[in-house]
């Protein structure tokens, strides 16, 4: 099966093509997107480009996977809108992937407890922890906690692993015995979205394109201001 994966939860994003068999999906191609993708229309040319590079056509796609949050309001809207549009038009199954779980899926080292972290702005972090890569599909719907930096650091214990771009700014504050992932693994990747999404597909955990909405993880600044 040929599948398309989209990851647009941050300032940058990526598009990947993978091929799946009875057990797992393997990466065929992946491209990085320009910073600050602002519309689904700007994402479509990138999708067409990577398909053409592999000599694939949209009608061959058997699955679409998309990171649905938490993350950037604009980025998530762009990715989810594009994925829904394609899935509906092509009548292709669609899988929603938690961004933090996708981040965990990109970590190759063995771990017993991995904390994945994304910048939530306003001096806060989106966090979730995962117990071993082998059972990641079963944890893929983990709820993100919205924590201050200090509250997050208080939850870490020796032998924990941590992953995510905010960690690079916390190196001097991490408790002793906590291991950081390589910098290349600190950004969610479309390849990991596709690999984890395919595992979810094999478990028949697809979603209705008409019902899918981003999971922002928090209200917008405008919404919070309106209630204050």
Q: Which tens digits make up the pLDDT trace of 31-65?
A: 999 876 667 777 999 999 999 999 999 999 999 99
- 60 and 139 belong to one structural domain: no
pTM (2 d.p.):
0.93
Q: 194, 65 in Cβ contact below 8 A?
A: yes
Between 226 and 212, the higher pLDDT residue: 212
Same domain, 154 and 223: no
| CATH code for position 192 | 3.30.420.40
Q: In this structure, are residues 29 and 47 in contact, taking their beta carbons and an 8 Å threshold? A: no
Task: Kindly state the percentage of the chain with pLDDT values over 90.
Answer: 77
Instruction: Answer yes or no: do 157 and 214 share one domain.
Output: no
- Residues 32, 66, single domain; the answer is yes
Q: How many structural domains compose the chain?
A: 2
Sheet holding 25-32, edge to edge: 25-32, 14-20, 2-7, 61-69, 94-98
Residue with structure tokens 């990085």?
32
- Same domain membership, residue 147 and residue 80: no
**Are residues 54 and 117 located together in one domain of the fold?**
no
Give residue-wise pLDDT tens across range 78-114: 999 999 999 999 999 999 999 999 999 999 888 989 9
- Are residue 87 and residue 193 in the same domain, yes or no? yes
If asked whether residues 92 and 192 sit together in one domain, one would say yes
Tell me, yes or no, whether 173 and 199 share the same domain: no
Q: What domain range is 137 assigned to?
A: 109-185
Residues 166 and 179 in one domain: yes
- pLDDT for 226 equals 45
- Please state which of the ranges 13-17, 63-67, 109-113, 114-118 shows the lowest mean pLDDT: 109-113
Please classify residue 12 by burial: count the beta carbons closer than 10 Å to its beta carbon, then call 0-12 exposed, 13-18 middle and 19+ buried.
middle
Average pLDDT over residues 173-187: 95
pLDDT at 206: 98
Based on the fold, state whether residues 151 and 84 are members of the same structural domain: no
Same domain, 14 and 87: yes
């Amino acid at each position: 099966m040929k599948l398309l994966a989209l990851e647009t939860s941050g300032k940058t994003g990526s598009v990947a093509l993978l091929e799946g068999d009875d057990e797992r999906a393997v990466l065929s191609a992946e491209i990085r997107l320009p910073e600050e993708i602002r519309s689904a229309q700007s994402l479509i040319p990138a999708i067409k480009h990577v398909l053409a590079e592999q000599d694939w056509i949209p009608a061959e796609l058997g699955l679409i996977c998309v990171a649905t949050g938490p993350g950037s309001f604009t980025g998530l809207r762009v990715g989810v809108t594009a994925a829904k549009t394609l899935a509906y038009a092509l009548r292709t199954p669609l899988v929603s992937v938690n961004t933090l779980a996708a981040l965990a899926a990109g970590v190759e080292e063995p771990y017993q407890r991995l904390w994945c972290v994304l910048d939530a702005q306003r001096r806060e972090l989106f966090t979730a922890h995962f117990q071993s890569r082998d059972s990641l599909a079963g944890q893929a719907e983990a709820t993100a906690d919205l924590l201050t930096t200090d509250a997050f650091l208080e939850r870490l214990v020796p032998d924990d692993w941590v992953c995510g771009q905010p960690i690079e700014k916390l190196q001097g504050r991490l408790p002793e015995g906590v291991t950081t992932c390589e910098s290349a693994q600190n950004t969610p990747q479309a390849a990991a979205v596709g690999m984890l999404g395919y595992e979810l597909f094999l478990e028949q955990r697809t979603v209705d394109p008409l019902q899918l909405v981003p999971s922002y993880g928090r209200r917008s600044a405008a919404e919070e201001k309106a209630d204050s």
